[in-house]
Structure 1
Amino acid sequence: MTEAVKGPASYFPSIEQKYGRPIAEWQSLIRESPLTKHMELVSWLKSEHGLGHGHANALVAHTIAQDKGR
């Protein structure tokens, strides 16, 4: 049996479908941004790339958590 994806990653299929870019591309944009604070990055994704708040928040949260684990 496959476990359901939980947390921010649960948004990834709908993000890719709605915005037409793979998650890796969104994460690259976040990592290359000069912004570093969570809400700054969320606001930037919303204003510059047209993402909804939940999708932007999920991408930023997951990317930051991933980077802290490196």
Structure 2
Amino acid sequence: MGVKGPASYFPSIEQKYGRPIAEWQQLITDSPLTKHMELAAWLKSEHGLGHGHANALVAHTLADAGS
């Protein structure tokens, strides 16, 4: 069974944008923004991520932070 959910995007995110997932998660964690859609919009506008990739990173990072 393959990886499901937001993490299933991680290999293509790393390949396309050239940063490890941990680095993206650190950027999200360090951001003063806290809302999912604000963070996703910020990743898209400031870092050029696509909508699906930005959403996957934010969802996974916020889920980890809450656990």
TM range (shorter): over 0.9
Could you list the structure 1 runs, at least 4 aligned residues long, displaced by more than 6 angstroms after superposition.
none
Partner of 2:27: 29
RMSD: 0.4
Partner of 2:5: 7
1:52 has 2:62 as partner:
no
How many residues are treated as equivalent by the alignment?
67
Letter in 2 for 1:33: S
Deviation (angstroms), 1:61:
0.0
Deviation (angstroms), 1:38:
0.2
Q: For each residue in 1:21-57, what CA deviation from the matched residue of structure 2 results, as whole angstroms up to 9, or x when unmatched? A: 0000000000000000000000000000000000000
What TM-score does the superposition give when structure 2 sets the normalisation length? 0.99
Identity fraction in percent: 82
Partner of 1:63: 61
Letter in 1 for 2:54: A
Q: Which runs of 5+ in 2 are unaligned?
A: none
Letter in 1 for 2:61: T
Q: Which runs of 5+ in 1 are unaligned?
A: none
